[in-house]
Amino acid sequence: MTAMPQGRARRSALTSAVCALVVTGTALTGCAGEDPDAGTNGVGKLPAAQIQSRTRAAADTADAVHLSGNVVTNGRTYRIDMRLKSGGGSGSVTSQGATFGLLRIGSQLYLKADAEFWNHADGGGDTGAADKLDGKYVKVPQDDPAYRKFSGFTDKTVLLDGLLTLHGTLATDGRHKQSGVRTVRVTGDQGSGGTLDVSLEGRPYPLRLVRAGGAGTLTFSDWGRDFPLREPEKSDTVDYGKQLPTS
């Protein structure tokens, strides 16, 4: 076997070192003729608008998703951690220092919070009622303002329709990684209209969203992974009546 000339060997080693530095950077690019789309689902080759269309279709048809992060709306920041599917959802929401749990099974929504939450919702007027609701799953009547206010957090279709939106001119912004998964990034108006990282592995699910105008950052995981939704025990359930105390 003919030995590689010393100069060529040095160039080969230098090329390998440069490739290693490029691959370990923030944006993943091809090196020495390598195809950056090798082994991917191929959406990275598409125009930004088509990538967004594909990821919305993947999200809409997924049976379930785990969504977590911050959402800013109407001047209020909500920290959400929800598991969602077509039949309902469960998880927690934190706003203004108060955390409450949400559970929806079909059309029945339950809200679970401590006495301080209920006391604040009632304007501090009925501490006895707040104590009775402390730590219980409270049935929320469908015609109550609280139902309209909180049920959207448990509705996969409503929540994704409201969140998975980029504003302005769409463009791609290189290859990245999210929780170890290769992604292609789509931006609106060079990032001022939001950014969305889309999986290049498996189905093109959205994995990370930075909303326009500093309106929050969300991550999406466990796409298609089912989870149980169970009615709470009767001993842990309170039917408050026709209308809940709400702020």
Identify the three-state secondary structure at position 184: strand
pLDDT tens digits for 41-53? Answer: 999 999 999 999 9
Q: Residue 158: phi, psi to the nearest 5?
A: -60, -45
pLDDT in tens, 115-170: 888 876 655 555 666 788 888 999 999 988 889 889 999 999 999 998 999 999 99
Q: Which residue is associated with the tokens 């020495």?
A: 32
Concatenated DSSP letters of 49-88: HHHHHHHHHHHHH-SEEEEEEEEEETTEEEEEEEEEETTE
pTM summary value: 0.80
Distance of CA 98 to the CA centre of its chain: 21
Going 238 to 240 to 242 to 243, the CA torsion angle's sign is negative
Contacts of 227 (CB under 8 A, 6+ apart): 64, 83, 85, 90
Q: Are 187 and 171 in contact (CB under 8 A)?
A: yes
pLDDT confidence bin for 175, thresholds 50/70/90: very high
pLDDT, tens only, 135-146: 899 999 998 888
